[in-house]
Structure formats: structure tokens, C-alpha cells
């Protein structure tokens, strides 16, 4: 009867524990340290895979054109939406999709055909405006950035300040297609950062929307006569069994009634199931060690007889009394 009452009380406590689970599972300092470690991996990976190819000009870019010895042709121009610029003597010049080097050669060719002999043209980019990318989610500096050269996802994430302490293990790239549809690319950041799969370091394109997921904290609960009752996080890439869960919660106390230990599990339909666990057989390897699932509740009840015996033991004196008390609580 007492056990049944205790279990009802425990179930009522669960809703309250869920509210504070995030604060009790992992201290912010640990999450921050994990984020800093991942950001170090991100920077190493960015440097290892860094390469620069020529930037392709596009609408909105602002360029500076200088012609050696002809100051009248020195111009600061913005490429229009048609991908063109207007330059004296050569009129309209299409520049969309050209590199700086290709544009220099094109202007030299056009000027040599009209007003100059062997012209020398210099082109520099003053402002990058034609290839925006958008970085959202759990990064330190979300926002819109401009591609200045060929970049991959690690370059962009570094540009956005790296991961926040709440970042998860996945990243999504949403990319528009010419037919109006969109492509969704899923990236496993854990495999990428840990060097398991460098193919996840996907090239990014203008217009891409990159979203870093938030870490989802999955918990299990250990309550009752254990060293540290409370909520604990389930690692995303590691199985946790009953013996480890019990150990994580500080193990059972001497006053625990192990024979009445219960595993309470919430099914997908919302129904609760309660399974009796033979703790001694599990810990000795005689019974299977159950796998713990999200929101599982392990309840280890207190034995009033053992609690009384432990109290007596703490206060007992004499060579004959103590063995009797030990026999009571074992």
C-alpha cells in the first residue's frame, strides 16, 4: 500500500521536474565549453579546406574602374539589375558572370577598338552586393552575408561567428531552384566536425538559407532512494541502460528497497506502463539490463525497516549490538 501511494506521489512530481529539467541536466558552463570546442573544430576545418576562386560579378556589386593615363575613364559604377554597366566610349557593357580578370580583358579589348592603343585597365570590387546568403538559428551572429569567393558551409558558419551554446548537431540548407521549387540539404554537423564525413562540407550558393538547429534535450528521471535523484540527459549518440542510469544518479542508498524498484514508461499513445525490475539480478548480470528511453522514470522506493535499521546503526554501540543491526538492514 505504501509503495502504491509513493508511486502516485512520484508521478505527480514528474510534471514539475520537466519544467526544470533543462537546468538540472547540464550546467551552462558545460554547454558553453562544448560550443567552444566545436568552434575550434570549425575553424580548423575551415582553414584545412580553404580555397579562393575568382568572384563572379553580379547585379548590385559596386566596382571601381581605372584606365592608366586616362583619368576621364576612372569610374565607380554599380552593376544594374540587367548585369550591365555604362562606360564612356564603349557604351553598355555586360559584366554579369565575369571575373575581375575577365572584365579587365574585355574592357581593354573594347577600348582598343575605339579610342586607345594598348590600354591598361584595372578593376577592383568596392562592395559585394550580388550574392547574399542568410544564416539563421543557433549561431553567434545570425544575419545576411555576402559571398566574396567560393565558400563551403564551414566558411559561412565561421563568418556567422560559430555556434552558440545551444546549437544542435544538424544544419539545413534551403536552396531555391529556377522552376520556383526549393531544395533542402541536411548536414550532420557532428560527423563533419569530428572528421567522419568531409563530404558534408557542402558548397554554398547565392540565396542559400542556412539554419543551425537547436539542441533537443532528451531526459530520463531517477527518483526515490538514490544518491542524487533528478533529471538526466540522454546522449544523442549513446545508449544508456538501467545500470548506468542508476549509477549516474549516485547509486541506490542502503535504505532502498530494491525488490520494489519500478521502471515507468510513457507510450506513444500517452499511456503509462510500469515494469518491476530485479535490480540485484540486473547488476549481477543474471537478468538483461534494460535500455532507457526518453522520459523513462526509474523509481527506487525506501524500505522503512532498513531506514529504521540504518538509524539504529548510526547510534548503536557495542560489539554485540552492531552485528544484529547489520543483519536487519542487509
pLDDT tens by residue, 249-279: 999 998 898 988 999 998 888 788 899 999 9
Considering the domain architecture, whether residues 204 and 117 belong to the same structural domain is answered as no
Distance CA 244, CA 257 (A): 19
Domain residue limits at 85:
62-127
Asked, for residue 318, whether it belongs to a domain, the answer is no
Among the candidates 183, 214, 245, a domain finishes at 214
Instruction: Please say if the pLDDT value at position 160 is more than 90.
Output: yes
Considering the domain architecture, whether residues 118 and 150 belong to the same structural domain is answered as no
Considering the domain architecture, whether residues 222 and 287 belong to the same structural domain is answered as yes
Q: Which of 167, 69, 86 is nearest to 122 (CA)?
A: 69
> Which domain CATH number covers 45?
3.10.560.10
- Highest mean pLDDT: which range of 11-20, 37-46, 226-235: 226-235
Asked, for residue 319, whether it belongs to a domain, the answer is no
Per-residue pLDDT, averaged over 154-168, amounts to 92
Higher pLDDT, 4 or 240: 240
- The CA distances from residue 55 to 120, 129, 165, in Å, are 21, 12, 33
CA atoms within 13 A on the CB side of 21: 21
Q: Which residues face 221 on adjacent strands?
A: 231, 297
Instruction: Give me the pLDDT at residue 307, please.
Output: 52
Instruction: Please say if the pLDDT value at position 245 is more than 50.
Output: yes
Considering the domain architecture, whether residues 241 and 94 belong to the same structural domain is answered as no
Instruction: Please say if the pLDDT value at position 29 is more than 60.
Output: no
163 pLDDT band (50/70/90 cuts)? very high
Instruction: Give me the pLDDT at residue 138, please.
Output: 95
Distance CA 153, CA 210 (A): 8
Which segment of 79-83, 157-161, 299-303 scores lowest on mean pLDDT? Answer: 299-303
Considering the domain architecture, whether residues 176 and 286 belong to the same structural domain is answered as no
Q: Is the pTM of this model over 0.85?
A: no
Considering the domain architecture, whether residues 42 and 169 belong to the same structural domain is answered as yes
Asked, for residue 139, whether it belongs to a domain, the answer is yes
The alpha carbon dihedral of 274, 279, 281, 284 has a sign of: positive
Instruction: Please say if the pLDDT value at position 171 is more than 80.
Output: yes
> Which domain CATH number covers 82?
3.30.1950.10
pLDDT tens by residue, 48-95: 554 444 688 999 999 999 998 888 888 999 999 999 999 888 889 999
pLDDT tens by residue, 95-149: 999 999 999 999 999 999 888 888 899 999 988 888 999 999 999 999 999 988 8
With 0-12 / 13-18 / 19 or more C-beta atoms within 10 angstroms meaning exposed / middle / buried, residue 21 is buried
Tell me how many domains the chain contains. 3
Mean residue pLDDT of the chain comes to: 81
Q: Which pairs from 189-193 meet CB under 8 Å and 24+ separation?
A: 189/38, 190/237, 192/45, 192/153, 192/154, 193/38, 193/41, 193/42, 193/45
Asked, for residue 31, whether it belongs to a domain, the answer is no
Instruction: Please say if the pLDDT value at position 21 is more than 50.
Output: no
Asked, for residue 208, whether it belongs to a domain, the answer is yes
Which segment of 20-24, 54-58, 151-155 scores lowest on mean pLDDT? Answer: 20-24
Instruction: Give me the pLDDT at residue 30, please.
Output: 66
Distance CA 58, CA 33 (A): 41
Considering the domain architecture, whether residues 45 and 186 belong to the same structural domain is answered as yes
Considering the domain architecture, whether residues 141 and 194 belong to the same structural domain is answered as yes
Considering the domain architecture, whether residues 87 and 184 belong to the same structural domain is answered as no
Amino acid at each position: 500500500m505504501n509503495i502504491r501511494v509513493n508511486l502516485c506521489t512520484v508521478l505527480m512530481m514528474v510534471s514539475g521536474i520537466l519544467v526544470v529539467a533543462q537546468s538540472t541536466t547540464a550546467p551552462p558552463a558545460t554547454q558553453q565549453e562544448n560550443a567552444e570546442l566545436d568552434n575550434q573544430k570549425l575553424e580548423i576545418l575551415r582553414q584545412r579546406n580553404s580555397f579562393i576562386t575568382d568572384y563572379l560579378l553580379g547585379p548590385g556589386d559596386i566596382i571601381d574602374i581605372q584606365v592608366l593615363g586616362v583619368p576621364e575613364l576612372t569610374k565607380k559604377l554599380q552593376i544594374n539589375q540587367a548585369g550591365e554597366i555604362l562606360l564612356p566610349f564603349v557604351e553598355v557593357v555586360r559584366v554579369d558572370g565575369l571575373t575581375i580578370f575577365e572584365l579587365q580583358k574585355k574592357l581593354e579589348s573594347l577600348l582598343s577598338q575605339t579610342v586607345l592603343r594598348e590600354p591598361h585597365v584595372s578593376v577592383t570590387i568596392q562592395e559585394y552586393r550580388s550574392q547574399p546568403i542568410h544564416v539563421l538559428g543557433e549561431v553567434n551572429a545570425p544575419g545576411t552575408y555576402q559571398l566574396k569567393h567560393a565558400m563551403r558551409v564551414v566558411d559561412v558558419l565561421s563568418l556567422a561567428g560559430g555556434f552558440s551554446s545551444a546549437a544542435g548537431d544538424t544544419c539545413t540548407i534551403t536552396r531555391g531552384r529556377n522552376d520556383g521549387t526549393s531544395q533542402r540539404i541536411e548536414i550532420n554537423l557532428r560527423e563533419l566536425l569530428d572528421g567522419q564525413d568531409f563530404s558534408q562540407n557542402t558548397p554554398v550558393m547565392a540565396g542559400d538559407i542556412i539554419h543551425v538547429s537547436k539542441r533537443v534535450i532528451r531526459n530520463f528521471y531517477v527518483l526515490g532512494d538514490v544518491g542524487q535523484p533528478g533529471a538526466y540527459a540522454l546522449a544523442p549518440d549513446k545508449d544508456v541502460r538501467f545500470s548506468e542510469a542508476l549509477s549516474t544518479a549516485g547509486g541506490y542508498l542502503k535504505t532502498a528497497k530494491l525488490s520494489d524498484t519500478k521502471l515507468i514508461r510513457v507510450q506513444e499513445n500517452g499511456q503509462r506502463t510500469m515494469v518491476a525490475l530485479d535490480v540485484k539480478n540486473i547488476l549481477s548480470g543474471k537478468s538483461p539490463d534494460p535500455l532507457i528511453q526518453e522520459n523513462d522514470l526509474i523509481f527506487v522506493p525506501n524500505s522503512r525497516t532498513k531506514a529504521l535499521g540504518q538509524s539504529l546503526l548510526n547510534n548503536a554501540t557495542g560489539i554485540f549490538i552492531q552485528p544484529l543491526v547489520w543483519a536487519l538492514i542487509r
